[in-house]
Amino acid sequence: KAMDVDLIHQGFARGLKANNGHIIFDAEVKKIDKINNNWKISTKTEPFASPIIINAAGAWCDDIAILAGCRPLGLKPKRRTVIIFESSEKINTSNWPVVIDIEDKFYFKSEAGKILASPADETDSLPCDAQPEEIDIALTVDRIENATNFKIKRIDHKWAGLRSFFPDRTPIVGEDPLIENFYWLAGQGGYGIQTSPGISKIIECLLTGKKWPNYLSDLSIHPETLLPNRN
């Protein structure tokens, strides 16, 4: 069964607020200083202070690290384009699996009674509010129509996002090797929402010293396999 990303995200936000957490919007980080083992973070709205930073800034993780005096890890943000359209055949797609081209040139799946599709693009990008390019939208339509019976007469929605990768395409979770109390949580690629429950448990164990879960060990996931300075 497909994961409902929006519903999961809303659930995480409700859980955070229920535990007295706060989500601060429009607070671009301008400066980070470490004073007496405490981080001082200046933003465009208000200052913050904390003994620990968890750098989960997505495509901006390297930028945040530089502000904190850490060495960037060489994360590569890559743009991914998505469109949603309605099938002209008026068929029920609710039980369809995800369909992925064997050469990874496109994929599509059912999405709330319509079809979500992508050209599976990975275009290098600077950290930004990514927008879909017309050429990538056209490629999506062309590839889907050539491989299927779909005739895409209208695109209902289109958007783009940035997926960030470490060179080995495995997430980075752990304390910076040189700067104490600066933790990385980065490089999830296109699987951030799928991996978020497991990765949050990993960072919890690293921060609190809790026992490493057996289910992670059974999957050959150990702290050293995710560290920023792993071999």
Residue ranges matching CATH 3.50.50.60 in the chain:
5-75+168-226
d(CA 160, CA 27): 22
Rg of the chain, C-alpha, whole Å: 20
What are φ and ψ of residue 204, in 5° steps? -60, -45
Whole-number Å distance between alpha carbons of 153 and 141: 10
Dihedrals phi, psi of 108, to nearest 5 degrees: -150, 160
Which of 72, 70, 61, 68 has its CA nearest to residue 35?
Answer: 68
Domain boundaries for CATH 3.30.9.10 within the chain: 76-165
What are the pLDDT digits (tens) for 171-225?
A: 999 999 999 999 999 999 988 888 999 999 999 999 999 999 999 999 999 999 9
pTM score:
0.90
Architecture of domain 76-165: 2-Layer Sandwich (3.30)
Q: What CATH number has the domain spanning 5-75+168-226?
A: 3.50.50.60
- CA-based max dimension of the chain: 65
- Cα(110)–Cα(4) distance, integer angstroms: 12
pLDDT 10s digits, 95-137:
889 999 999 999 999 888 899 999 999 999 999 999 999 999 9
